[in-house]
Amino acid sequence: MEKQKLNIVFMGTSDFASIILRSLLENNYHFSAIVTQPDNESTKKKASIISPVKKICQEEGIENILLQPEKLDIDFINKLKKLSPDLIIVAAYGKILPEKILEMPRFKSINVHASFLPKLRGPSPIQNALLQGLSETGTTIMLMDRGIDTGDILTQAKIKIKDDDDYLTLTSKLAILSSNLLIDTLPKWIAKKIKPRKQNLDEATMCQLIEKNDGGIIWDADAKSIYNKFRAFRVWPGIFTNWENKSSLQKILLTDISLEKNTEPIRHRLGEIFKNSKGKVAVQTSNGIIILNKIQLAGKNETNIADFINGYPQFIGSVLK
């Protein structure tokens, strides 16, 4: 079947999903509907925050096929059913699809998952790859079933994770890798040239569910694991610590840090701020040190560490908690 005649529904929300959608559009795939999460209301900015996928629809002038259901209820299911989709493509949509939706298309529902399954099933596979300090990860095009990323695999590809990769850079790399793999996979799948294969259950791992408070730093951890948390949480939820200033604890966001091996004897308390032999502002961990480049005191603007110390000279020698 020609791609122009395929009746496709795309479901996605994040930046990762938007890059994949853009690639499909550039390769002349057409959609009967594009489904994304409802707009979020920002109380601070008093405005709606739209998803990256919705932004693509606005830029391409295809808002007329955009759907943003609050719930995947029977009304929405019936609306999709009337479209008679040949294929549903899902990429980081953010909701679990009911079986009635999964079973709708004749070429089934496929998911683009940003890990080398069965590793890192579930939400946030990119953050979890960074949290675990993995040297490689991958992407998987898979059939969807009732489970969480348990469906049969169509195609896969791997990618190396560099030491300086963070959530933003790795997301971009995986989205491009996934887009290319999907564009290669779709015609082969439609032509029945791909035989799905089962996942190896013995190798399956699940992602850690990430919550806002997970960004808190415990300084008796090693520097590498703290830096990995910074890389993983670069966009959300960020990493933070507490500083006792004038008998009150103040929250500090660590917006730019570096990892450095501590070649000097450990002479500092865990969490203590000091200047190392290179003049850099460092924090002692159980193994290695973290270099502070930019920080943000709660309620204040981000500042580089030198300017912060000019305003708060007592910061050096204090202990973060």
Q: What's the pLDDT tens digit per position in 260-306?
A: 876 667 789 999 999 998 899 999 999 999 999 999 999 999 999 99
pLDDT of residue 256: 98
Give pLDDT, residue 1.
66
Token pair for residue 102? 């999964």
**The length of the chain, given as a count of residues:** 321
Distance linking the first and last C-alpha atoms of the chain: 61
| Digit-coded pLDDT (tens) for 191-211 | 999 999 999 999 999 999 999
- Residue 21 corresponds to which amino acid? L
Q: Residue 267's CB: how many other CB atoms inside 10 A?
A: 8
* C-alpha distances in Å from residue 31, one per residue of 21, 24, 116: 10, 10, 27
Q: Which domains does the chain have, with CATH numbers?
A: 3-203 (3.40.50.170), 212-315 (3.10.25.10)
